[in-house]
Structures are given as C-alpha cells and as structure tokens.
Amino acid sequence: MLRILSKSRYSGKIEGVVGEIAKKGVRVSTRLEDRIAYSKDFNPIHLNRMLKFELPALPDAVVFPSTAEEISLVMQICNAHSVPVYIFGGASGVVDGATPYCGGIALSTLGLNSIQIDGKRMLVTAGAGVVGGKLEEILNQKGFTLRHSPQSLYCSTVGGWVATKASGQFSTKYGNIEDLIVSLKVVTPDGEILEAKPMPRKAFINPADIFTGSEGLLGVICEVTLKIRKIPEKSFKVAFKFESMDEAVENARKILQSFKPALLRIFDRLESLKNFGVEGVVMIAMVEGKLAEFERDFLIKEVSTGEFIGEKPVEIWLKERFNVSDISKYVPLGIVFDTIEVSCFWENAMKVYRKILKAIRDVDGTLFASCHASHFYEEGLCFYFTFAGIRGDLEEYYREVWEQAMNVASKYASLSHHHGIGKIRAKWLQKELGGYYSIFRDLKTIFDRKNILNPSVAKIIES
Ligand SMILES: Cc1cc2nc3c(=O)[nH]c(=O)nc-3n(C[C@H](O)[C@H](O)[C@H](O)COP(=O)(O)OP(=O)(O)OC[C@H]3O[C@@H](n4cnc5c(N)ncnc54)[C@H](O)[C@@H]3O)c2cc1C
C-alpha cells in the first residue's frame, strides 16, 4: 500500500483547473502513474523511502506543455486559482528542489524539445526540456560540442542546468553553465513570456543572470541559447601520483595559475584505491585543442610535482564517468548514499577537506566518507564528498550529516558548488547571501505575488 507523507491541499480545486487547462488544448494527466513519476527528484532519501512504499508527496495533476505559449496558459490558469506549480526537467536534481509538498500541478518541460544550431555564431538554441545527452549527440553530428558534461548528462535537461547552475566535468577549461548562456526565454508566474534579443555581450544587467540558479522560484525557463565549440581535434590524458592531498592540491593551484587543463581531478587515498587500485593520491588531467601537445609537455615536464603514472587512470575514469550505479547498490541494503559539493579558496582548501570529512565521519552510523576535488579555478576549487551510512532512524542520520557538513561549509566554503540549494540547504541560505538575502526574497515576492512556483522551496526563501 502506497503511503503519501505529505497530503495535497489543493485536491478540492484541481478538477476545475485541470478542466480549464485541457480546454486550452494543453496535455494534462491525473493518472496515478504520471503523478508518481513527478512526485520527487533524485534526492537519495526519497529512494530509501520508496523501498517502504512511501512517497514524499503527490501532485494532483501533471501538465505536459510543448511551447512557451502553452506554459503561459498553464501559468495564467494556476495563478488565477492560486494553485502551486512545480517545475520538472529530468528530475535528476539531488537537493529535494521540486517535490510537490503542497500538492497542485507538476509541470514537465520535456515537451519543449526543439534544437536549432547556428554554426556561424557558434550558438545553439534549445528547448528547456532537451536532455543533455541528446543535445550533445546532435551537436557532435555537426562537428560541434557543448563541452558541458555533468555526470547526469543523460538524465538532466538544458532548463534544469540553468535553473540549478550546473557544472560539467570539463568546466575547468570551458566554464560552468552560466559561462555558456547567451540568452533565455522565460515565462513568469503570471504567464508573461519574457525574451530579450541575444547579443555577444548585453548592456545593463543581463536578464539571464536573474534566472540562472533561481531553482524554479522566479519563472519557467522555456528556451536557452548557449555557446558551442568545435570538437577539439587533439586531446591527451595524463595522470600523476602524490603522497598526500595537501601536496596534490598545492600542485593544482600552481597548474591553474599557469593554464587551464580541460579536466583536472584529484582523488583522495580512499577513492584512488577504489577507482584505480593505486596506493596514494591520484591526479588525472586532460588537455585539449590546438595547443594540447604543448600543454601536455608543460604539465609533465614543468608544472607537475607528482609522479607521472601514464594514461590508465584517465581511461578508467572516462569509461566510468556516467556510471551512477553506486546509489542503487546501497539503497536496497537500507544504506543512504549521497554527495556534498562545496567550493572554497585555496587557503581554506585543506581545512575544508579535513573538517567536512571529520564532520561526516563523526556522525554515528557513517560507514564511509571520501572526497575528490572535481572543479578548479585560479582562485580555488570544488571538493566533492561522498558518504554512506546506516542507522535505525535513517532520516535522522541523514539530517545530522548535512547539519554537520553545512555548519563547516558555511564558515569556510560555499554551501554548494553545483547541486544547488533545494530544501536540503535552504536553512543556511540566509547566512550564505548576507545582506542580499532580503533582496532575493523581495524579488520572489515581485515575480511571484501568489507564491505559486515551487512553493516548498519558496516558503523558506520567504520565512
Ligand atoms: C547521478 C547524478 C549525477 C549528477 N552529476 C551532476 C554534475 O556532474 N553536475 C551538476 O551540475 N549536477 C549534477 N547532478 C545534479 C542534477 O543533474 C543537476 O542539478 C541538473 O542540472 C538538474 O537538471 P534536471 O533537468 O534533472 O532538473 P530537475 O531535477 O527536474 O529540476 C531541478 C531544479 O530546477 C528546477 N527546474 C528544472 N527545469 C526548470 C525550468 N525549465 N525552469 C525553471 N526551473 C526549472 C526544478 O524546479 C528544480 O528546482 C547529478 C545528479 C545525479 C542524480
């Protein structure tokens, strides 16, 4: 028997709203299987609950618009009835961002699937619901690539990337999603379609910046224009071994302050052994493009202080880089498995690495905690912690880990590097934003007067 942990407050209103949406010709479903499919994101605690036939919530209906105009109609109707709308792309978000805790409408963007390539400007304009893997495949057929490659490439959407401020595995050279965005088309909560003509660099505040990373609180992103590049003609792989994380991280600083490899990752001892069978700390790197040969030689002969150990670890990583089976392996054993990513400046790097690992390991029930450095900047880096644990009250264990880790992060690091805030990190957002917090809260009230977009996240923004 399926148990819904949070009951809808809108089931009485929904029939009328669904009727109006259907009358406008927008596809809408109240079938249980569709509502279950749009009941949660990929936050791991939901997976553990599912084993007990528990769902965090259920939307009362799911809408499947295929144009910005259809989204506008849905928003106008929901706004008039004050019914919440939860936006779903690929539902690969991991921070409990769009769970329909209040009930109402789940809006799937997957029908917005157009792709237009402009080879001259080197831009692609994609519907928000285009799945990353599909976009990359189509670009590759024409000799282009986005080079934005999150581990979730095959289960996340273009709109989701913008909403969560996603980051890809090659971001060190090519930038994060915000560096690729040229323009956005957005529908506001009261149904207005916002569009500004794309330009290489826009005057005044770039409207796209307002919605990038807004996690579905301010509007529905319908279409995104992104920079593309030619597939690099040459690329080389190199790996190095270090005795300690300290040494490898210090070397990464020197590398980043000399040039930007396409890929750089440093795995702590636990992850180096697990992933590559190497005793030590492994750094992997890839260099790409016309200068790749020069950059490889520069890395090996001049800037790296580690022991050169060939290409094999990079090849292993490339083969496994979209493998996400760890999560499903642990769930049936009653173990919760999750990741926490934060960014920090170089001078705090080893403090953040040690303190967050210790904070996670000290929580009663932790089975293991490990870390790799995954994204790099001239000024600092991102640490990506992985942990698994088991305890009688699994949810209490899970909350405690996040509490301890975020308390450290809020002192020495960012709350998140690329997974976003969602419900999981909302408690610490005010501290992260300082004086800007009230400005963002006001912005939400202006854009979404009735608080109908992703209200479970918004509620925290407004508290
Ligand atoms: C195994 C795994 C690996 C991952 N690896 C990475 C990684 O390498 N890099 C990375 O950055 N992330 C990663 N993620 C996290 C996740 O894939 C990203 O956050 C991704 O950007 C979410 O896209 P989505 O389409 O699945 O969005 P969803 O999960 O559907 O939505 C995420 C949030 O964005 C909002 N949203 C979605 N679409 C829109 C829209 N069109 N308009 C407005 N709001 C919208 C939702 O309401 C929600 O709040 C990973 C997740 C998993 C499960």
Looking at the structure, tell me whether residues 110 and 254 fall in a common domain. no
pLDDT of residue 328: 80
> What stretch of H or E contains 179?
helix 177-180
pLDDT of residue 327: 79
**Which atom of ligand 1 approaches the CA of 158 most closely?**
25
Residue 463: band (very low, low, confident or very high) from pLDDT cuts 50, 70, 90: very low
Mutation probe of ligand 1 site: the residue of 74, 131, 164 with most atoms within 8 A of C-beta: 164
Is the pLDDT confidence value at 366 over 80? Answer: yes
Looking at the structure, tell me whether residues 100 and 166 fall in a common domain. yes
User: Global pTM?
Assistant: 0.97
pLDDT of residue 321: 95
Does the beta carbon of 156 sit less than 6 angstroms from any atom of ligand 1?
yes
Does the beta carbon of 91 sit less than 6 angstroms from any atom of ligand 1?
yes
CA of 320 to the centre of ligand 1 (A): 20
Q: What is the pLDDT of residues 59-107, one digit of tens each?
A: 999 999 999 999 999 999 999 999 999 999 999 999 999 899 999 999 9
CA distances from 29 to 69, 105, 128, 279, 288 (A): 19, 10, 20, 54, 47
CA distances from 73 to 78, 85, 156, 189 (A): 9, 13, 25, 10
pLDDT of residue 185: 98
Q: What is the pLDDT of residues 104-146, one digit of tens each?
A: 999 999 999 999 999 999 999 999 999 999 999 999 999 999 9
The runs of H, that is alpha helices, within 257-375 are 269-276, 292-297, 312-320, 325-330, 349-361
pLDDT of residue 459: 57
pLDDT of residue 431: 92
Mutation probe of ligand 1 site: the residue of 38, 47, 92, 184 with most atoms within 8 A of C-beta: 92
Which of 153, 163, 104 lies closest to 456 in space, CA to CA? Answer: 104
Q: What is the pLDDT of residues 184-195, one digit of tens each?
A: 999 999 999 999
Domain containing 226 equals: 1-231+425-463
Q: What is the pLDDT of residues 278-323, one digit of tens each?
A: 999 999 999 999 999 999 999 999 999 999 999 999 999 999 999 8
Q: Provide the CATH number for the domain around residue 262.
A: 3.30.70.610
**Which atom of ligand 1 approaches the CA of 150 most closely?**
8
Is the pLDDT confidence value at 42 over 50? Answer: yes
Is the pLDDT confidence value at 341 over 70? Answer: yes
Looking at the structure, tell me whether residues 418 and 449 fall in a common domain. no
For ligand 1, atom 11, which residue shows the shortest CA distance?
A: 166
Looking at the structure, tell me whether residues 223 and 253 fall in a common domain. no
pLDDT of residue 157: 98
Does the beta carbon of 87 sit less than 6 angstroms from any atom of ligand 1?
yes
282 strand-pairing partners: 241, 267
Mean of all residue pLDDT scores within the chain: 96
* The two three-digit tokens of residue 53, written as one number: 């036939």
Q: Provide the CATH number for the domain around residue 400.
A: 3.30.300.330
Given 286, 320, 354, the domain boundary residue is: 320
Looking at the structure, tell me whether residues 79 and 158 fall in a common domain. yes
Residue corresponding to tokens 């915000």: 178
**Which atom of ligand 1 approaches the CA of 186 most closely?**
42
Is the pLDDT confidence value at 462 over 60? Answer: no
Looking at the structure, tell me whether residues 66 and 161 fall in a common domain. yes
Looking at the structure, tell me whether residues 396 and 453 fall in a common domain. no
Given 286, 301, 320, the domain boundary residue is: 320
